[in-house]
Structure 1
């Protein structure tokens, strides 16, 4: 899986296999993502570097002119600890929202 964070969602979809199962959710509000050319990737799952072998792919996105909510400080938090183990959602996000659950950062 390439690192698509910051890339336009329309181009990302074109870069993935036509039969890929892709989920796209708004990271800022609960808007529907209708025209992907107006959106950029904020987060992705699986993470960059993981081999894609048929598993679903999930993205959170923001409008191209918006700031991705988890990176407003200008510092992108690492989603993984030194050993490659995912960090707990509480250490990354102020709350465990829908996008965090979709990406597997927290469980309901």
Structure 2
């Protein structure tokens, strides 16, 4: 037998398909998948949070009555002695109202033992708008999520106060004991 004049063909190896997605498409799809993952984790985390176990009752605040008094002072002019009543009326200064500071008072309830966010909401409903809070353990931790803290102390205590008074709540995390 004679040898064939040409060499045998190489074995057939299928070629992988050409990449139809460029680098930009891969990046967009990767970022979209990453964003979806973060949203999914956030939704699961918020569904599993223990905030629903605490119930708080909103108490309406008392009615606040503000009384404003004005006093007028009229001084007769020097021309009034001259006998001309018309001139005395023309030269008399306009009555001036004395500007006394108006302060509103309201009753502050005892908010110790409440969830920090509920205590803040209740104090605002009572008319107190200047509110602060601090870590009662002395650890200087920030109350980033007020619903995760409970009130251990309140300064000033309950009573009738000026509504411009700063109310400070000492708080600890829900699972911690008050110092």
TM interval, shorter chain, is 0.5 to 0.7
1:1-108 equivalences under 5 Å are 1-17=108-124, 20-28=129-137, 29-69=139-179
Question: Which 10-residue stretch deviates more, 55-64 or 43-52?
Answer: 43-52
Larger Rg: 2
Q: Which runs of 5+ in 2 are unaligned?
A: 1-107
Higher relative contact order (CA 8 A, sep 6+): 1
Find the aligned partners of 1:7 and 1:15 in 2 and give their Cα distance. 10
Q: Name the one with the larger helix percent.
A: 2
Find the aligned partners of 1:37 and 1:44 in 2 and give their Cα distance. 17
Instruction: Give the TM-score, by structure 2 length.
Output: 0.36
**1:21-49, Cα deviation, whole Å (9 max, x unpaired):** 11110011211110000000011011012
**1:68-87, Cα deviation, whole Å (9 max, x unpaired):** 11xxxxxxxxxxxxxxxxxx
Find the aligned partners of 1:57 and 1:66 in 2 and give their Cα distance. 22
Instruction: Give the TM-score, by structure 1 length.
Output: 0.58
Find the aligned partners of 1:53 and 1:30 in 2 and give their Cα distance. 27
Residues 52 and 11 of structure 1: is their aligned pair in 2 closer, same or farther, counting only changes over 3 Å?
Answer: farther
Aligned residues: 69
Could you list the structure 1 runs, at least 4 aligned residues long, displaced by more than 3 angstroms after superposition: none
Q: Which runs of 5+ in 1 are unaligned?
A: 70-108
